[in-house]
């Protein structure tokens, strides 16, 4: 078995690392402290062709595949999780519904500027009363003669309020089927549409440089051509875009874990106690060994899921496993990194503290750890334990 990356992926990974070291790392702490969305960096990512990595070339993307995407995420997330998280949301759940279910006209109008990096986009699923229970969504879209009227509210939505935001794809209830089940549709609502308002940026535990807000829809009219896909199958459509999204969040966790490991190793090599570098003490050395082992285990779970996706093989179980494990490893490894740094690690200005604050959301966003375990258990218990 060959676990090495293709030479062109290695070259791209190096290019992104060099870019991140120059354009992201020196500024990340300042962006976080100010809660500033770094528009200029996303413009540059667009110029590098990285804002449409999972979008077909005919619509302005790179069509690079999941393995290449994970390799790039390792470098962006290693530099800063706020930038990486916003890039993740844009690249997966904000863009993939248009890739998978949009018409050619919709792709030309909305997907192309997203893929080319001229704009960034969001997906509006979560509501005050609906998150893991996506079927609990109460935002409604009412059909009219020439379009739809949307009423409701969303919460914890990222990328909607930046100065380069194009709009948000909103999941809304469209009716009830003959079997009594709710039906849902997905609608693209451009920024500035009458009846679409946004709250102020939310104050979060981490991801401080990522724009996250509440969204409000009151008698918000969009034309019939703003419906993406089937007006009765929007939830199913969204769920089909979750698997690549889970791999993406798993790679976020992997990148955070790698950053925390490197920070811990560096500090263990310069900090002295009891006459020796702390890395020479077995307690710290064993901690580093455990961190490194967990990072490697996470890495190959993530790349395995990405490879399966690229090969066109079933990967839902593996995506859930990768997301579950990598997100929990990110929390364990970043916590260990703080412990290695001691009191300095508890200071807000330390880099490890920023990564530690960013880690927790990975066990919550895009499917909690509990939901991932449900997905894995359902597949395994139904006979999908092996291949």
pLDDT reported for residue 153: 97
Whole-number average pLDDT of the chain: 95
Evaluate whether the domain defined by 121-232 bears CATH number 2.40.10.10. Answer: no
Domains 7-115 and 121-232 share a fold: no
The average pLDDT across 93-97 equals 94
pLDDT reported for residue 387: 54
Q: How do the domains of the chain map onto residue ranges?
A: 7-115, 121-232, 236-381
**Residue 54, burial from CB neighbour count under 10 angstroms (0-12, 13-18, 19+):** buried
Claim: this prediction has a pTM higher than 0.85: yes
The average pLDDT across 172-200 equals 93
What amino acid positions are annotated as catalytic residues? 366
Across the chain, the runs of DSSP E, i.e. the strands, are 120-124, 140-143, 147-158, 165-176, 182-190, 196-198, 212-223, 227-228, 272-273, 276-277
Residue 233 has pLDDT above 90, yes or no: no
Q: In the Cβ-directed half-sphere of 378, how many Cα atoms lie within 13 Å? A: 9
Residue 385 has pLDDT above 70, yes or no: no
Q: Are 88 and 252 in contact (CB under 8 A)?
A: yes
Residue 210 has pLDDT above 90, yes or no: yes
The average pLDDT across 186-195 equals 97
Fold of 7-115: Butyryl-Coa Dehydrogenase, subunit A; domain 1 (1.10.540)
Percent of the chain with pLDDT over 90: 88
The average pLDDT across 368-372 equals 95
pLDDT in tens, 147-180: 999 999 999 999 999 999 999 999 999 998 888 8
Evaluate whether the domain defined by 236-381 bears CATH number 1.20.140.10. Answer: yes
pLDDT in tens, 1-49: 788 999 999 999 999 999 999 999 999 999 999 999 999 999 999 999 9
């Amino acid at each position: 078995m060959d676990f090495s990356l293709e030479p062109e992926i290695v070259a791209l990974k190096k290019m992104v690392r060099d870019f991140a070291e120059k354009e992201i790392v020196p500024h990340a702490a300042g962006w976080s402290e100010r809660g500033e969305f770094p528009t200029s960096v996303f413009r540059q990512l667009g110029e590098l062709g990285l804002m449409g990595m999972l979008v077909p070339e005919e619509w302005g993307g790179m069509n690079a595949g999941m393995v290449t995407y994970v390799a790039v995420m390792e470098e962006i997330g290693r530099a800063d999780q706020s930038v990486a998280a916003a890039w993740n949301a844009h690249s997966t759940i904000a863009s993939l519904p248009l890739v998978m279910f949009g018409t050619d006209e919709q792709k030309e109008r909305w997907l192309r500027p997203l893929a080319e990096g001229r704009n960034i986009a969001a997906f509006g699923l979560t509501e005050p009363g609906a998150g893991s229970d996506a079927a609990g969504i109460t935002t409604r879209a009412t059909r009219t003669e020439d379009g739809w009227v949307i009423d409701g509210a969303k919460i914890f939505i990222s990328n909607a309020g930046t100065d380069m935001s194009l709009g948000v794809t909103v999941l809304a209830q469209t009716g009830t089927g003959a079997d009594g089940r709710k039906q849902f549709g997905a609608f693209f609502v451009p920024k500035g549409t009458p009846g679409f308002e946004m709250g102020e940026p939310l104050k979060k535990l981490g991801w401080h440089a990522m724009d996250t807000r509440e969204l409000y829809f009151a008698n918000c009219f969009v034309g019939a051509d703003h419906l993406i896909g089937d007006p009765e199958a929007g939830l199913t459509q969204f769920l089909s875009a979750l698997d690549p999204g889970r791999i993406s969040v798993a790679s976020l966790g992997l990148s955070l874990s790698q950053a925390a490991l490197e920070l811990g190793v560096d500090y263990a090599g310069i900090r002295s106690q009891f006459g020796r570098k702390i890395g020479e003490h077995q307690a710290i050395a064993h901690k580093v060994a455990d961190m490194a082992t967990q990072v490697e285990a996470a890495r190959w779970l993530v790349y395995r899921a990405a490879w399966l996706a690229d090969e066109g093989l079933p990967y839902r179980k593996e995506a859930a496993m990768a997301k579950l494990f990598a997100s929990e490893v990110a929390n364990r490894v970043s916590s260990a990194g703080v412990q290695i740094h001691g009191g300095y690690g508890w200071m807000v200005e330390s880099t490890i503290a920023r990564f530690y604050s960013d880690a927790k959301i990975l066990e919550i966003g895009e499917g909690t750890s509990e939901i991932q375990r449900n997905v894995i258990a359902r597949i395994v218990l139904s006979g999908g334990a092996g291949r």
